[in-house]
Amino acid sequence: MKASAEDINWDSVVSNELPRLYNYFRYRLGDEVIAEDLTSVVLEKAWLKRHRYRKDRAAFSTWLFAIAKNEVIGYLRKRRVSVPVSITEKATAETAEHMLEQSQDLQQLSRRLAELPERERELVSLKFGADLNNREIAAITGLSESNVGTVLSRVLQKIREGWEGAR
Amino acid sequence: MNDDYLKQFRRSPDSKFVEKIHARLEKKQRLQVIRNYSVFSALAVMFLIGILMTFSSTVRAEVLQTIEEIAGLRFDVTSNYPGDPDEEVTIVPSEYLSLIEAQNRFPSPVMLPTYVPQGYERQTDVEFFVLGDTPTLVIRWDSNEKSAGNIELDIKHCPSGFENCGMTVGEGALEEIMLNGKPAAVIRGAWNYDTQQYDLSPMTAIQWKYDENTVYTLSTWDQDMPLEELIRMSESIP
């Protein structure tokens, strides 16, 4: 089957996929500057590798988020640590102006996400940051669709409990 | 708290950031079309020249005036937009290789400059494609300032001589310079697909014979980059 590079509408990629990528990275790594950098890197890589995209194998967004997921793995490997709560809190404190714009609820949510194990944070980021459905998440992560649903349900319960406890 | 609350953490990316990314992708698309079209045009013009020169001595004399040779390289110079503008652009499939892989596979020497202008960083992947019997490698350096153009080093292996590696350029595009005491051509401008005119401003390139089968072309779309910088970078290639 022929590669579908010429079928990619890059205007649509910018208007639809860029905000999803950006929010995926924000949820996943908790840093807006890094989210912008990695969004830019992923779109650059998608352009370079566009001839490798096969329309018959996956939706474009699935292919794009597979690149994004690998980028997060590479980023975390370089840093050699995930993003612990302390770092998130420090980063938030450093961007004081930014904090003022955020409600207390959002800060709490940020902390809750930072406390999750890597795999769970990945799923929450894909679900609520990138706004992907369970089937798309399953294709990216290699989990079954029902497994994605189960894990997400458990994670949401955990977040909800932590949230209520913090109030 | 319901689950949708988690979506409230989403934010729209900064509009300037989106505009920059959009401009960058648009530019890449434009460059790809121009590159593909330039290659196609060069082949089409060379074919026409061959036919005309075979059948008409008058045309042969006329055509000879439009061919310039600089530094042992042949350029077709014309004020007319080459090729048929209605012709569909053919996309030549590319492969992306690591530099080491490219150096192992490419039939000509792949040498990098030791000097790179400040603020430019080399892309990890190297583009490789074959047009006719001419394998070509493209190595790119991106500017840290996203609005500025990048720098490209094109390396062509020309097994059947340099005639098949020539370019079609507009009038006033060529100038001869010396690189480390050897002749080279400065090429200014590129064909504009939309206006079908040759525009002298957007691109500057330096082209030279690296060895008997290899042509190196170092080019930039960064209009603020002085020619001296491009010369310095070219001269730093061993």
- Name B93's Cβ contacts closer than 8 Å, sequence gap at least 6: A3, A51, B129
Residue B177 clears pLDDT 50, i.e. is over it: yes
pLDDT at B26: 79
**Structure ipTM:** 0.74
Q: How far apart are the CA of B29 and the nearest CA of chain A, in angstroms?
A: 9
Tell me how far CA of residue A84 lies from CA of A65, A90, B10, in angstroms.
Answer: 23, 10, 20
Mutation site for B-interface testing, chosen from A64, A123, A128, A133 by largest number of B Cβ within 10 Å: A128
Mutation site for B-interface testing, chosen from A9, A24, A40 by largest number of B Cβ within 10 Å: A40
Residue B179 contacts residue B234 (beta carbons within 8 Å): yes
Structure tokens at B89: 């652009």
**Nearest chain B residue (CA) to A156:** B3
Count CB atoms within 10 A of the CB of residue A59: 13
Structure tokens at A34: 């890094």
Residues counted in chain B: 238
CB proximity B1 to A under 8 Å: yes
CB proximity A75 to B under 8 Å: no
Q: How far apart are the CA of A81 and the nearest CA of chain B, in angstroms?
A: 24
pLDDT at A90: 45
Q: What is the 3-state secondary structure (H, E, C) of chain B?
A: CCHHHHHHHCCCCCHHHHHHHHHHHHHHHHHHHHHHHHHHHHHHHHHHHHHHHHHCHHHHHHHHCCEEEECCEEEEECCCCCCCCCCCCCCCCCEEECHHHHHHHCCCCCCCCCCCCCCEEECCCEEEEEECCEEEEEEEEEECCCCCCCEEEEEEECCCCHHHHCEEECCCCEEEEEECCEEEEEEEEEEECCCCEEEEEEEEEEEEEEECCEEEEEEECCCCCCHHHHHHHHHCCC
Between A9 and B238, the more confident residue is B238
Residue B191 contacts residue B198 (beta carbons within 8 Å): yes
Enumerate the residues of chain A whose CB falls inside 8 A of the CB of residue B7.
128, 131
Angle at B141 between CA A54 and CA B202, to 5 degrees: 95
Confidence of residue B28 (pLDDT cuts 50, 70, 90): confident
Q: How far apart are the CA of A142 and the nearest CA of chain B, in angstroms?
A: 24
pLDDT at B60: 52
CB proximity A101 to B under 8 Å: no
pLDDT at A118: 86
pLDDT at A111: 78
Residue B136 contacts residue B156 (beta carbons within 8 Å): yes
pLDDT at A62: 87
Residue B109 clears pLDDT 50, i.e. is over it: yes
Residue pLDDT tens, chain A, 167 long: 444 556 678 888 888 899 999 999 988 888 888 899 999 989 888 888 887 777 777 788 888 898 899 888 888 887 754 444 433 444 444 444 544 454 465 567 677 788 888 889 899 999 998 999 999 899 888 888 899 999 999 988 888 887 776 65
Q: How far apart are the CA of B154 and the nearest CA of chain A, in angstroms?
A: 16
pLDDT at B91: 58
CB contact under 8 A, A129 and B9: yes
Q: What is the mean pLDDT of residues B187-215?
A: 84
CB contact under 8 A, B12 and A19: yes
CB contact under 8 A, A128 and B9: yes
pLDDT at B110: 92
Task: Give me the residue label for tokens 């022929």.
Answer: A2
Q: Which of B47, B128, B136, B58 is nearest to B95 (CA)?
A: B128
Task: Give me the residue label for tokens 């894990």.
Answer: A151
CB proximity A39 to B under 8 Å: yes
Tell me which DSSP letter residue A116 carries: S
Q: How far apart are the CA of A46 and the nearest CA of chain B, in angstroms?
A: 10
Please, what is the average pLDDT of chain B? 79
Count CB atoms within 10 A of the CB of residue B115: 11
Residues counted in chain A: 167
Tell me which DSSP letter residue A137 carries: H
Structure tokens at B124: 């990890």
pLDDT at A84: 44
**Nearest chain A residue (CA) to B17:** A36
CB contact under 8 A, A36 and B9: no
Between B212 and B49, the more confident residue is B212
The residues facing B178 across adjacent strands are B183
